[in-house]
Structures are given as C-alpha cells and as structure tokens.
Structure 1
Amino acid sequence: VYIDRLRWTRDITTRGKRAKHASTPYTEKEGYKWESASVNMSARLGAKIDDVISVCDREADIYEYLLYKLKTKQRFIVRSMQSRHIEEGQNKLYHYASQLKSAGQKQIHIPQKGGRKARNVTLDIVFAPVTLKVPNNKRGESLPLYYVGCVEHGNSKEALCWHLLTNEPITTQAQAQKIIGYYEHRWLVEEYHKAWKSDGTNIEASRLQSKGNVERLVTINAFIAVRILQLKFAKDRPDDSSCEEVLSPKAWKLLWLKRVSKTPPDSAPSLKWAYTELAKLGGWKDTKRTGRASVKVIWQGWFKLQTILEGYELAMSLDIDL
C-alpha cells in the first residue's frame, strides 16, 4: 500500500560527481528518501505504525536509515546490498552467513521473464542474530539486527540469493519463513512501476515541458496503472469476479460489442474475460502459448477502449444531424 510518495528531481549539474557523495550531508542525499518517507508515514498513521512493516530493496541498505528504524522501533525488512562488518566474527556478514547451519528449505516458483525461463527452485534457509559494526566513515552505534538468508541450491550465477536484515525477532524456522514471505510480496511494487512508468502507461516517455503538467499526468496514470495491474493478475484469481471491478458498465459493454459483436449480456462478464479481450484488443496473439499477456498489450487495449468510449460519449452528445 502506498502511504507516502516523494517526487525527486535529480540536479543535472551534479551528474557524474560521485566524488562529492561522501561529503554530502545525509539529509541532502537521494537515499534520505527512505527515512523521510518513514517520518511522514509515522506522522500519518500514529499508533497504527506498530502494525506496519516496511519492506525495502537493496537501495535502502543505508546505515543511517537502519539506525533510524531501530531508534524509533519501526518494524522493517531490508535486503542487504553489501556484506558489512559484523561483531560476531572476523569475517563479513555474507561469509558468516555461509557458515550457518540450514534451518530448513523453501520451494518457490520463479516466473518466466524476458530470456529467463520459468523454474521451480529449492532454497536453503538460515537465520541468526547479528550486530552490524559502524562503518568507518560514519559516526554512531552498532546495529543489533536479525539476519535471514535464503540461497538457491547450485552454483549458477543466476542462483537466487536473498540476504535480509530485520528487527523482527527470529528464533524459529517459521519466523524466518514469515520474513521471506513478506519480502516475496515486494515484487508487486516492481510490477506496479512497470505498469506505471515503462511498459504500461509509459510516463517515462512523456515529453511534457511543464512540471505541473508532468505531475498531473503522473498522478492520473498512477490510478490507471492500478487498474492495469488488477487486470494482469485477473488470470490467477480463483473466483469469477465481475469485470466491473475495473470497468464501468458502459466500458465493458462497448468492449463486448467490439470484440464479440453481439448484444451484451444482462450481467457483467468476469474479470478474466476483460483481461483476455482487452489484451486481444491491444494486439495480443499469445504466440508463446503462455496464456499470459504483457502489461504493454493490456495498456494498449485499455487505451483503445478509452478511445472507443470517448467516441461513443461524443456521438451521444451530438444534438445536430451530420
């Protein structure tokens, strides 16, 4: 759930000046966005913040952010970006983790993506309390955390490997599995960004010059991206939910007339039907026989349907004979 969003504009004049990164104050760095979002989230949620777990990718593996989360007792899971020095031994975190005894295994399915084939993988699970040392270029205190790791069997370069840091107490395999399960859901954020920023509404390709216009377009398309994502996962839903969850009665009836060329039924068809027909309207041929349409063709179908809907509304508003 999006509870806070920050618009960040990089200063083009500082592009490529990484040499100044170490001397730049933490609050002026782009990475401060994680703490800033947590501060705003805490202010908005009040006591309910205790029920929230922030699940972050490797970009959030920042000493100051982890320290802030610990001091404010906000719950979090962060995927480790680097093998940090720890107090539990002479070696760094990842080497220490490789020596831990397996606490069990987990089976997960990795879907096909691009040139990567779908596969089922077996992961070894390890966990342990760890204390991260203060980085040499920082001032502060050591960070007592819990480490959860899951590593795919085999030595392939593409082997799945997650190093997770959390302040959730981990003393059993079930608790470790729960942390991994939380992190598994984080990929939905990536799917949303794909539907919003690139393959879907593709706001990254917009060439608007006004900041105000860009912000309005971004906001409108953010809601459309949610609808596209709902359609993308409609195929996996076990129920026959109505397509009116994402389409208005007028929209699905026009889609029916366009695709089926018959009088629409009295009751709305399923969400899965809308998924298939919108994808076909967008040019989907299912040439790979996966039964899954890409975000791009769903968006193209959605856009065409909106054009049809706009044309219908315009025609119905005419009060003159052509």
Structure 2
Amino acid sequence: MLLSDCYSWAKQVFGLAKLGDPRRTRRLVTLATSLAQHTGLSIVKSSQSTAEVEGAYRLIRNPSVLPEAIAEAGFIATAEEATRHPVLLALEDTTTISFSHRTASDTLGHTAPGRHTRGLLVHSVLLYAPDKAQMVGLIEQQRWSRDIVTYGKKHQRKKRPYEEKESYKWQKASEQMASRLGDTQSRVISVCDREADIWQYLDYKVRQGQRFVIRAAHDRCLEEGSLFDLPTTLSQAGSHTLSVLQKGGRAARQVKMFISYSPVELKHPYGSEKRLPMTYICCREEAESGACWHLLTSEKVESAADARVIVSYYERRWLIEEYHKAWKSGGARVEQLRMQTRDNLERMIVVLSFVAVRVLALRQGGLGEEKQNESCEQVLSPIEWKLLWVKQEGKELPKKAPNLKWAYLSLAKMGHWHDSKRTGRAGWIVIWEGWFKLQDIVEGYRLAKSLDQEI
C-alpha cells in the first residue's frame, strides 16, 4: 500500500473517510495525492490548477470536516493492512510540533521547554512488520496542547488522577489501537522507550494480556534486590551485535552487546502486595561506561536466541524518531505550515501525518538490506528514474530499472551529499533537495515535450 502510486495510495488511505459528503472525500483524496506527489511543497505549489487550490482550501477551512474523521479513515486502512502480517511492532513516542509564525500563538498552547513556543504535542503509534522490514501504517495518534496558565505547575502532577495526566496517553493509545485492530491485537508488540515505564501502564498491559517491550527507566524493587542490580547475579546468555548510527560528534560503530535475562516480578512502588510478572533482559557493552539497555517484556524468553529477537524489536524503535523527522522537517515539513487557526492546522497536520509514513517507507526502501535491491519503480516513475539516470550517470539507459539503493543514493548526490563519514546513509535534507531538483527536471522535460507537440 505505502509503495503504490500516489493516487492509489491516497484512495486506499482516505477513500472511506466519512466527512458528511462524498465530494469532500474525493477532494481529500485529490489533496493527499498532490501532497504525496510533491512532498514538502505547499498546497499552492503542489496543486495542478487554480480550481484544485481553491478546492483544497475550502476543504481545509470547512468546520464540518473533522480532523478526527480524516485520521480515522487512515487508521482503518492501516488496520486492514495489519491483518496480512503475523507479527507487528507498535512503535510509539511523543513529539512536539512548534510553529513560529505570530498568528499561531492565539490558538495554540505552549510546548516544552519554553512558554514562548507555540504548538501541539502529538503521540503517534506506527505499525511495522519485522519479518518483512515493512512499514504498515499509522494506527493511532493523539494531539493536544498545554494551556498557557498551567505553565510551571509540573510539581502538582502527583495530586492529579492518573487519567488526567499526560502520561495516560500510553494507555489511551493502547486502548484505541486494540479497539481498531480487534483480534489482530494479539499479534502486536508495543515497543516503547523509557518514558513508558509507568506502573499503571505496565499494570494495564499485563492485565489485558497485551504484548510489550519497554526500556526500563526506574530501578524497581524485586522480591530480593532491585532490577538494575540483577545483571550482576545473572550469567551471560550470549551476545548481540548492535549497529550504533553516527549522530552529532559520535561516529558510527559496531558494538558487541552481552545479553542476560530472567523472569521477574515487579513490586508495587507504594507498598501494595500486587506483583507484575514479566521478563527482564539486560543488553550491555562489556565496558562499564558503554551502552546498557534494561528491557521489560511480556514475551517468554527461554534462550539467548529468544532474547536477541526481543532486543532486535527494541532496535526498531528508532523508526518512530525517523518518522518524526519525515513529518516535521525532513519530508512533509509540517512545521512550515502557515494556517492561522488551530482547526485548519490540525486538518493539514493529520493529512501530512499519513504522507510522512509514506515518505518514511520510501526512504527505508533505499536503506534496508531487505528492500534495497528491489526495483526503484516502487518509488520513481519511469520518466523520473530515466531523467535521474541521465543526470547522474550520463550514459546509456539500462534495459531495466535500477534498484532502490541506487535511487536513494542518486537523489542524495543530486542534493550535494558526499559520504565523507563513510556511513552510506544520507540525511533527510539532502535527499529532499535532490527530490525537488528532480521534480524541476521532470517538469521542464514535460513542458519541453508539450511545446514540441504544439510546434
């Protein structure tokens, strides 16, 4: 679904949207198609005609078109696609979408860390099929803002009920996801970072029989000793090679991680007799100052191989961070929106949240070993890859389309990328600079062809 042509993708994702009028649904599909074809561009620049621009703005400004209705259509499409996979990872995290234009300040709340920023907080859940290294789609998303008058009152959070706290978003996301997926939920493993290490959330997952892998943030008490002291009492059960990506001043490297595991029962933090049974996995470098992951999981682990599978699931969590980049700045550029009201912003934010999943899937196709040798026509039209070939290779066209890896690297090079760090991985900015340049070339080619036909 994600790698189909733009119109087929948009129709499958938004074609069943219940917006009160079938004409609005058709307009939504047209808008999503244009935004997917011209990722990162505004409505005006991505539309093909003045009538299309006017229709798109009427849709975005229509108070009868609810952002929740747009999103629900996409969630239903994802739920349908999810039935085709035996195991699914629900990768989830929270991010902030900040807007700098002055008109947004009247309708949006503050975002951390400063009260002078305005925007929304968003919690998203992506479904990913690990057996095929394939993005499945967005299954849940919550959007909210913080009231300006509540700024600086974090110290009062212990007095509020759990259901009224922002941390309740984790449980709410699981509830919504389970409601949409039905029986498919039994195949889903939630993969979360340390922010999700909340007693109430862990209790909910255990009670509901929902599967999870969560990185522990708290050194919780056990019947004897504490969680983070446990590795000193466990024997090593094997090792796992972890690929640490280059980031900032840190060089990319391959790290050998040693694994140990044990069933545990977590004690209640406030003295209750309740215990939560689960499996603990420690994955750490040999050096004391090296990386160390304390993972809690619902999955039974009976061998080092089982433990390595769980660790590999947690490694996929970084894809949700890549999704945020694709959505906010690297592809869909949602933070560049200039709508003047929150309602209009939310409608576009939701549409672009699904466009960003497609962007991520396209980029991962050129990165992942499982996909990089497949045809680049999953991403580029015949005209696009042929013009890219002429521009980058400067030699006779091949008889069949080159692979996805070639397309990924060629677009990056067109965006003036040089693999100076020898990682073979290009950033979002250079990829999309290359993409925009290619679209200019394609547009010029089509214009020249139409002029030739007229002459």
Q: What is the 5 A alignment of 1:228-307?
A: 230-231=362-363, 234-237=366-369, 240-260=373-393, 267-307=400-440
| 1:99 matched to 2:233 | yes
Q: Name the structure 2 match of 1:163.
A: 294
Letter in 2 for 1:210: T
1:79-130 deviation per Cα after TM superposition (whole angstroms, max 9, x unaligned): 11111122x21x3211233332222222323232221122222222111122
TM-score w.r.t. the length of structure 1 is: 0.85
For the residues of structure 2 that align with 1:166 and 1:109, how far apart are their CA atoms? 22
Q: Name the structure 2 match of 1:219.
A: 351
For the residues of structure 2 that align with 1:213 and 1:152, how far apart are their CA atoms? 45
For the residues of structure 1 that align with 2:397 and 2:151, how far apart are their CA atoms? 56
Root-mean-square deviation over aligned CA pairs: 3.0
SS in 2 for 1:4: strand
Identity score, percent: 47
Q: Name the structure 1 match of 2:184.
A: 48
SS in 1 for 2:146: coil
Structure 2 runs not aligned, ≥5 long: 1-126, 128-137
| 1:113 matched to 2:247 | yes
Letter in 1 for 2:259: I
| 1:190 matched to 2:321 | yes
For the residues of structure 1 that align with 2:449 and 2:169, how far apart are their CA atoms? 48
Conservation of the 8 A alpha-carbon contact between 1:197 and 1:203:
yes
From the superposition, tell whether residues 245 and 321 of structure 1 become closer, same or farther in structure 2 (CA, over 3 Å): closer
For the residues of structure 2 that align with 1:163 and 1:112, how far apart are their CA atoms? 22
For the residues of structure 2 that align with 1:155 and 1:7, how far apart are their CA atoms? 40
SS in 1 for 2:144: coil
1:247-267 deviation per Cα after TM superposition (whole angstroms, max 9, x unaligned): 223332343454456775564
Letter in 2 for 1:72: Q
Out of 134, 155, 173, the position equivalent to 1:19 is: 155
For the residues of structure 2 that align with 1:315 and 1:13, how far apart are their CA atoms? 58
SS in 2 for 1:124: strand
SS in 2 for 1:114: coil
TM-score w.r.t. the length of structure 2 is: 0.62
Conservation of the 8 A alpha-carbon contact between 1:195 and 1:201:
yes
For the residues of structure 1 that align with 2:423 and 2:256, how far apart are their CA atoms? 23
- Could you tell me how far 1:245 is from its partner in structure 2? 0.7
From the superposition, tell whether residues 311 and 6 of structure 1 become closer, same or farther in structure 2 (CA, over 3 Å): farther
- Could you tell me how far 1:297 is from its partner in structure 2? 0.6
For the residues of structure 2 that align with 1:107 and 1:44, how far apart are their CA atoms? 36
- Could you tell me how far 1:240 is from its partner in structure 2? 3.0
Q: Which of the pair has the greater relative contact order for Cα pairs under 8 Å at 6+ separation?
A: 2
1:173-195 deviation per Cα after TM superposition (whole angstroms, max 9, x unaligned): 23222211211222222222223
From the superposition, tell whether residues 153 and 30 of structure 1 become closer, same or farther in structure 2 (CA, over 3 Å): same
Conservation of the 8 A alpha-carbon contact between 1:283 and 1:297:
yes
Out of 138, 151, 155, the position equivalent to 2:284 is: 151
- Could you tell me how far 1:200 is from its partner in structure 2? 4.1
Conservation of the 8 A alpha-carbon contact between 1:84 and 1:93:
yes
SS in 2 for 1:283: coil
Q: Name the structure 1 match of 2:199.
A: 63
1:11-42 deviation per Cα after TM superposition (whole angstroms, max 9, x unaligned): 33322211121122222222212111111111
Count of matched residue pairs? 317
From the superposition, tell whether residues 55 and 28 of structure 1 become closer, same or farther in structure 2 (CA, over 3 Å): same
More strand by share: 2
